[in-house]
Amino acid sequence: MAEEDRGLFLQGWAPQLSILAHPSTGGFISHCGWNAVLEATTMGVPMIAWPLYAEQHFNSKFVVDEVRIAVEAPQRLDQDLLVTRDDVEKIVRSLMVEEQGRELRKRVQLLKEAARGAVASDGSSTENFKLFVSEIRNVVATGF
């Protein structure tokens, strides 16, 4: 890693959860793989959705249109240039400065709190996992 006057350049794998958990992280450009979506959501970080392939397009539509915790990156599939400088400025401004970004941050914070509650010792995810383990034990013990 080399730091200069601004920002940080990192080669190789980045410690994504640590970065998302850092209080200075105001947004996350994501390919919208499901793990990345869950990590950003549980850390309370709104996203710029930039899906590449497979289920990422469905996940992108979900976080942009349904859950409303992301803005969609422009897609210029019919041109030689994937994204322009103006496109980048517009989408980053939308997420970081404009009212839409403020709304996304509010919504993702609510989801962050809900996710934390679900994985608490008495939360729904914890309780459902305990039930699942109990069912597996019953199947193993009884043979069905």
Residue 26 in this model has a pLDDT that exceeds 60: yes
Residue 79 in this model has a pLDDT that exceeds 70: no
Residue 1 in this model has a pLDDT that exceeds 70: no
Helix ranges restricted to H, the chain: 16-21, 34-42, 56-61, 85-96, 99-118, 124-142
Sequence-distant (6+) residues with CB within 8 A of 58 are none
Q: What is the mean pLDDT of residues 85-96?
A: 93
pLDDT tens digit string along 110-139?
999 999 999 999 999 999 999 999 999 999
CATH pick for 2-142 out of 3.40.50.2000, 3.30.450.20, 3.40.50.720, 3.50.50.60: 3.40.50.2000
Distance, in Å, from the CA atom of 51 to the CA atom of 55, rounded to the nearest integer, reads 9
Reported as a pLDDT band with limits 50, 70 and 90, residue 5 is low
Q: Which residues on adjacent β-strands are paired with residue 71?
A: 48
